[in-house]
Amino acid sequence: MNKDTKIYIAGHKGMVGSAIWRNLTAKGYTNLLGVSSSELDLRNQQAVSNFITDEKPEVIIDAAARVGGILANSNYPYQFIMENMQIQNNLIDSALKSGVEKFIFLGSSCIYPKLAPQPLKEEYLLTDTLEPTNEWYAIAKITGIKACEAIRKQFGKDYVSLMPTNLFGTHDNFDLNTSHVLPAMLRKFHEAKENKHAPVTLWGSGTPRREFLFVDDMAQSVLFALENKLPESLYNVGTGEDITIKHLAETIQKITGHQGEIIWDATKPDGTPRKLMDISKMHDLGWKHQVNLEEGIQKTYDWFLENIERFKEVKM
């Protein structure tokens, strides 16, 4: 892969896309392409086709998606399945028709069955039913994985899917109506601290176990896939370590300096009991994460504090 290879990063302003952009730039890549959603609506098939045809990228990295936690998935099921399918299908199909040889598709660990054996192996895909609270997003991502696999099989192109565990980091979404568990907790604890260490109420029992990966480590896995031709079509990306949601809450409480009570609302859903990724395939190829959980949360909290003015408009 040459440093002047033209690489289009779809979703380059989001948490994952911006991390990929930063890491590729730091590695010396000079011909990166990105356009905002106001300039290019990735849900518009003709617009995407025209863009890919005109720009002629040599590589496409798909970090664009409609994302959110349990609440967002529950409230907007149609948008989560339809818009994600539109975005990825338009990019994948346009890439194939324009002769793009390398495509990196990013998904999520929620593609695996709710009660799949732990840790989650790539071969568990489509072996049982999904977690109902995020099945709409998961089904969309599964179709993207299978589209890339089909292109690999039928046309021999280097289209690969990377499935990260729960991601967090700088440029995350801290809107409590649509955010994932870690940034939502971080904001809740910070605002409770500012409110005289008021109690913090969290969903569920705190017993489910989750694995978290700092977004710059995810970006490094994309760089790894960019610079190597991976032999298979689907790879898990994570740390191989998980913690309880209760432990996560206590860790965030400590980092933010909140000293109040934590109240667990057991009337709210827990989601999947456990989600731990088997990352042996990526490890065997030579990639491994670098940032531990506490270090990553501290970096994320520092960034949140530096950019706190932008979040004050969206209230709890």
Binding-site residue ranges for NADP(+): 11-17, 106-109, 141, 164-167, 180
Q: Pick the catalytic residue: 8, 29, 137, 301?
A: 137
Separation between Cα atoms, residue 279 and residue 277, nearest integer Å: 6
Chain centroid offset of residue 83 CA: 16
Sign of CA dihedral 268, 64, 274, 298: negative
Annotation marks residue 137 as catalytic: yes
Asked if 188 contacts 248 with a C-beta cutoff of 8 angstroms, the reply is no
Q: What phi and psi, each to the nearest 5 degrees, are found at residue 6?
A: -80, 115
Q: For residue 79, how many C-alpha atoms fall within 13 Å in the half-sphere facing its CB?
A: 9
Residue 295 sits at the vertex; the CA angle it makes with 289 and 301, to the nearest 5 degrees, is 125
CA distances from 59 to 95, 116, 133, 178 (A): 9, 33, 33, 30
**Which residues does the annotation mark as catalytic?**
137
